[in-house]
Amino acid sequence: MYPNSSLHERRRPPHRRELDSIPWLNLLQGDERQLAIEELRVSDAQPGDYVCRVGKPITYWFGLIGGLLKMSNDSADGQTMTFTGVSPGGWFGEGTALKREIYRYNIQALRKSVVAGLPVDTFHWLLDHSLGFNRFVMNQLNERLAQFIAAREIDRLTNPELRVARNLAALFHPVLYPGVGEVLRITQQELAYLVGLSRQRVNEALAALQERGLIRIEYGGLRVLDLAGLRSVVF
């Protein structure tokens, strides 16, 4: 459908339903909200499309309206290191936007996804004028710090069931990814990409988590039955 166009070239104004899924928009007042709506752009990402790439200057602060993304980087020996997944409702890159730096990571679509972007100049204008926006970004940064501390701990885990449990808990983070709800639309292969395990091993781990009553495997996704349990389960 998009044989020769980039994600940037596909950008368009958001639909009303897409605006309704942006968690910080209702925190803005009058003119702030109107400006944000006018400046927001949405693009339909295809599997494999890059939203952000290492070394590229930041132009937008991005969020995921629907689909699934992964944040990763390539090591010196060419191995891909996946840091985390990005679930619906998640906005990311606020640290890079604040400092107007180049990206130090890649964000790539794992499936067809709807990505929203706010121009970085508008991001800074809202920081200068909106108390509600400031509080949202500050909370994002705080939650993001905790997320990456947890990611470092996950990297040290050798038990596959624990790795899958902790990664699933991260994808269901109610603050960072408020659009997920109780069901995450994800395949076992997509989860394997994020966790860094084989599909077969992920399948075995999911079965073990389901047996413990922490999740339920449903058609096309996973339902979390006990989020606190996913965060604290031991094997």
For the chain, the structural domain boundaries read 16-151, 158-232
Percent above pLDDT 90 for the chain: 66
> What's residue 53's pLDDT?
93
Look at residue 144 and tell me whether its pLDDT is greater than 80: yes
Residue range 1-11: average pLDDT? Answer: 75
Rounded-to-integer distance, Cα 26 and Cα 133, Å: 10
The dotted CATH code for 16-151 is: 2.60.120.10
Look at residue 8 and tell me whether its pLDDT is greater than 90: no
Second CATH level (architecture) for the domain 158-232: Orthogonal Bundle (1.10)
Nearest to 88 by CA among 104, 57, 58, 111: 111
The region of weakest confidence among 91-95, 117-121, 183-187, 210-214 is 183-187
CB half-sphere exposure, 34, CA atoms < 13 A: 2
Q: Which residues of 2-35 are buried (b: 16+ CB within 10 A; e: fewer)?
A: eeeeebeebbeebeeebbebbbbbebbeeebbeb
Look at residue 48 and tell me whether its pLDDT is greater than 80: yes
Look at residue 35 and tell me whether its pLDDT is greater than 90: yes
Look at residue 172 and tell me whether its pLDDT is greater than 80: yes
What does the CA dihedral 36, 65, 175, 60 come to, rounded to 10 degrees?
-50
- Which residues, including other chains, have CB under 8 Å from residue 99's CB and lie 6 or more apart? none
Residue range 15-19: average pLDDT? Answer: 96
Residue range 110-122: average pLDDT? Answer: 96
> What's residue 157's pLDDT?
67
Q: What are phi and psi of 214, to 5 degrees?
A: -90, -30
Rounded-to-integer distance, Cα 61 and Cα 233, Å: 35
Which carries the bigger pLDDT value, residue 97 or residue 147?
97
Nearest to 154 by CA among 142, 141, 176, 170: 170
Average pLDDT of the residues of the chain: 90
Residue range 89-104: average pLDDT? Answer: 94
175: which 2 tokens?
A: 């603050």
Residue range 25-33: average pLDDT? Answer: 96
